[in-house]
Chain A
Amino acid sequence: MADIPVEHGLLVSVIMFSIGLIGLLVRRNIIFMLLSIEIMFNAAGLAFIVGSTRWIQPDGQVMFMFILAMAAAEVAIGLALVLAIYRGFNTLDADRASRMQG
């Protein structure tokens, strides 16, 4: 484990975060947007793990547990919203659910 340099772990994390962010901005399907958000969560979690291994501190691992719990909660609400939007608009296109424009 200790062979992997910190930079590599962080690089993977940055790549994952970028993929998630680009996915979020590019995809119009709400389900895929949720998936992208999950990827970003995991990127952040990976960064925490890498940090905690580097400095041999348990805090980062604890944070990862929090992120997991939060992601689970977020998905529960997110999917509920997806169902509600589908019922209301008969579509999963996020751009068409734009009735709140100013």
Chain B
Amino acid sequence: MLELLWLVVALPLSGFVILATLGRRLPRAVATVIGVGSVGLSAALVIGTGLEFLSSVQSSASFTQHLWTWFQVGRFEASVALRLDALSLVMIFVVTFVGFLIHLYSSEFMADDEGYSRFFAYMNLFVASMLLLVLGENLLLLYLGWEGVGLCSYLLIGFWYRDPANGSAARKAFIVTRIGDTAMAIALFILVYQFGTLSIPRILERAPEVYAVGSGIAVAIAALLLGGAVGKSAQLPLQTWLPDAMAGPTPVSALIHAATMVTAGVYLIARMHTVFELAPVVQMMVAVIGTATMIISGFSALTQHDIKRVLAYSTIGQIGYMFLGLGVGAYAAAMFHFMTHAFFKALLFLGAGVLIMCLHHEHDMFKMGGMRKYFPVTFWTFLIGGGALAAVPLVTAGFYSKDAILWYTWSSDKGNGWLWLFGLIGAFITALYTFRMIFITFFGRAKAKPNHSPGMRTQLPLVVLAVLSVVAGFVYLPETMGHFTPFADLLHTVVPAVPMEHVAFSTELQFQIGTALVPLLGILLAYLMYIREPWAAKNLAKDRPRAGIYRFWQSGWGFDWVYDRLFVRPYYYAARVNRRDVIDALYTLLARITQGLNILLGWSQTGRVRTYAAGIALGVVVMIAIMVFA
């Protein structure tokens, strides 16, 4: 079964190839079977291989499947090899399983779209790229998947390409992430130069011998890798592309946010954790960036009107939590949050997609309201997903993962009280904006009527994801609640455990009660502001200074404005100034000179034999003269 690992990647890839080449000619039913089925089969294979991997392979082991040698240049060899270990197992499970549910959902969501098979072709390629990214044994394959994911995000965000706004959102996502990718590529060049190989296990093995802790080159590599992760995972300062990426169809947003793309950065840091441990400064930066992103995106999410933009900012914030976890060395907790986040964020996006689909593509929450009556299944599942996002204590998976990260932020040797405090504030804001969204959308007076009710294929994924959003939390229970930690034990075969001194049981309990109460406070405030006193929130943003702050937050803290002034406009300006292309003038000159010479030589072509003969005679005379006299 383990030998079939390559099929996990090959199945979605072949789905893409078939749909991309024959897509137009296939009937929709066949396209659905290929598009959804390839990912479904892949998910089934992952469960099969995963079970065998867990039962047969001992701890700290991994399974490597060498497929073929990609190319060989001098001593450098790039092989196409897949590597399965605990970390990649968790990733491929989430990618294929959540990916499959999203594909299933899309088959109804996109049913009336003219680009149906094109959509599934891109989605399959997206999943295949992400699988390659996490399964790649060396950083080159990882980079191939990394770029593939970037390409697919571009194709899918701009899927409805007839609207120029979608196209520019797609370009923005592509260009902004490309900035991070460039940093990452430079990191890879340095690694090749230093180690002569890109094989991840070999680099991780040798890095501690080659570099001292905190040595300049290790810091440079870690910082450049962090640059790549920041771009892909939409963290400060490259987070601006994600809210605009909402231009794509809703299942795409779900796929980007839950299973593929944005979690790639988290995976990269967890995968290269040894390098980051060698650069404590950069690891601290990971935590700080995560925390800052979480706070900034939280305030932005509070002021959005578009339901998908609220979710987009919440994703940025939750990834911030993962970065915080990675930064303090709590890799298992970060991956745990990645998994639970994938479940509840996919659920939330798909739930929002149901509303959008049934309300004539209406995105504005303030034009919905009272949707509880029309969509009972969606409402309850959305409530569970929202509860998990807000980390409602004990009953949701989000609580356990967020609690683990916050607890380790405080107790880890690398963490500190400030990070913990901001994390807690972030949790409060998360709860506030999540339930603001739920209360505005599902409660109150209905302002729109749905044109049809959602079908089976959209409701089933919601229910499955809702169950997972609750159950997935129980695989990593903290010490205060039975200390049942199979998830962490599994991951600790790959990543180190959190470095910390033993803390008293009662201290942990106190902190947990704190983390449990904060979201409840947030929900209470949301209830007071949006259910009890609906005008309170409106009045709050009415006056002069507060309205300004509201708009400032709504626009994402003015990052777009700053980047527009700082980079985009100067670039446009330079392009306008350089319309005649200064550098090209040099080459035009070259062409002109050649043309002149041609005309000159053309004159000598009289067509008369006698002139030619005279020329030859003259040439001979000159040559003889040179030979004789020189």
Contacts and interface: CB of A to CB of B under 8 A. Distances in A.
Interface of A: 21, 24-25, 28, 33, 94-95, 97-102
B576 interface: no
Contacts of B606: 98, 101-102
Interface in B600-630: 601-610, 613-614, 617
Contact of B603 (A95, A97, A102): A102
27 contacts: A21-B617, A24-B610, A24-B613, A25-B610, A25-B613, A25-B614, A28-B610, A33-B609, A94-B609, A94-B610, A95-B608, A97-B609, A98-B607, A98-B608, A99-B607, A100-B605, A100-B607, A101-B605, A101-B606, A101-B607, A101-B608, A102-B601, A102-B602, A102-B604, A102-B605, A102-B606, A102-B607
Given A102-B601, A102-B602, A102-B603, A25 B617 contact: yes
Nearest to B602: A102
Given A21-B617, A25-B617, A95 B610 contact: yes
A84 to B, nearest CB: 14
Contacts of A33: 609-610
Interface residues of B, number: 13
Nearest to B614: A25
Contacts of B609: 33, 94, 97
Given A28-B610, A33-B609, 4 more contacts: A21-B617, A25-B613, A94-B609, A101-B606
Contacts of A94: 608-610
A21 to B, nearest CB: 6
Interface centre among B601, B602, B610 (most CB of A within 10 A): B610
Contacts of A95: 608, 610
B222 to A, nearest CB: 66
A60 to B, nearest CB: 20
Nearest to A24: B613
A28 B610 CA distance: 8
B295 to A, nearest CB: 76
Interface centre among A21, A99, A101 (most CB of B within 10 A): A101
A47 to B, nearest CB: 14
A98 B609 CA distance: 8
Q: Give the 10 A-B residue pairs with the shortest CB-CB distance, closest first.
A: A102-B605, A101-B607, A98-B607, A102-B602, A100-B607, A94-B609, A98-B608, A101-B606, A95-B608, A25-B614
Nearest to B606: A101
Contacts of A24: 610, 613
A6 to B, nearest CB: 19
Contacts of B610: 24-25, 28, 33, 94-95
B310 to A, nearest CB: 74
A66 to B, nearest CB: 20
Contacts of A28: 610
Contacts of B608: 94-95, 98, 101
Nearest to A99: B607
A28 B611 CA distance: 11
Interface centre among B603, B613, B617 (most CB of A within 10 A): B613
Contacts of A21: 617
A33 B607 CA distance: 16
Contacts of B602: 102
Contacts of A102: 601-607
B509 to A, nearest CB: 97
Contacts of A97: 607, 609
Contacts of B613: 24-25
Nearest to A26: B610
Contacts of A25: 610, 613-614, 617
A35 to B, nearest CB: 14
A98 B610 CA distance: 10
Nearest to A94: B609
Nearest to A37: B613
Contacts of B601: 102
Contacts of B603: 102
A53 B613 CA distance: 31
